[in-house]
Every structure is written in C-alpha cells, then in structure tokens.
C-alpha cells in the first residue's frame, strides 16, 4: 500500500500546532502560508476528516486532529530515527 499523505503534509499539520498557527508554521518551515494551508487541507480532504476548526482567528485541533497530531509525531520521529540509523 502506498501512503496517500506525504511526510511534508504531516509535518505541516504538526507545525501548525507547534508554532501556534498557519502563519507561524509557514515561517518555521520556510514556506508560504498558502502552501501550509493547502497541505493541511489536502490531508483533510484525502482522509475525509477535519483536523482543525477555526475559533475566531485561531485554528484549534478537533478530537480527530489530536489523534492525527499524536500519530504524526510518532511517524516523523520514526522517519528521523530511520534516517539516522541508515
């Protein structure tokens, strides 16, 4: 089975949470805000879920988003570990 979501999309999701928003995530990843927004929206579309809900000007994780965040963190940590081992 080929994954439908790239590591970059998972990284975008995590960065939005860790950095505190889309604009901050874009700055941290050296990408445009629209690229980060697109990556997260594509992830949500492919999976058929909503990871974030917007409250005022803040994007907040949904319960599903919280699960995805935790799993994405494990996935990216494992990918980094694999690269170090190689």
Q: Tell me the C-alpha to C-alpha distance, in Å, between residue 31 and each of 36, 40, 56.
A: 7, 13, 24
Pull the structure tokens for residue 25.
């995530």
pTM above 0.95?
no
The string of pLDDT tens digits covering residues 8-65 is 999 999 999 999 999 999 999 999 999 999 999 999 999 999 999 988 878 899 999 9
Residues 76 and 23: their CA atoms lie apart, in Å, by 21
Q: Which helix (H) or strand (E) holds 18?
A: helix 7-19
Please determine, for residue 2, whether its predicted confidence score (pLDDT) is greater than 90. no
Average pLDDT of the residues in 2-6: 91
Would the CA dihedral through 9, 15, 17, 18 be positive or negative?
positive
Residue showing tokens 């963190």: 73
């Amino acid at each position: 089975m080929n994954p439908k979501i790239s590591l970059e999309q998972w990284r975008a999701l995590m960065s939005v949470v860790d950095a505190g928003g889309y604009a901050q995530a874009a700055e941290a990843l050296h990408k445009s805000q629209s690229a980060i927004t697109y990556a997260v929206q594509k992830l949500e579309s492919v999976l058929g879920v909503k990871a974030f809900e917007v409250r005022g000007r803040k994007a907040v994780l949904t319960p599903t988003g919280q699960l995805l965040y935790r799993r994405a963190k494990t996935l990216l940590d494992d990918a980094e570990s694999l690269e170090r081992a190689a």
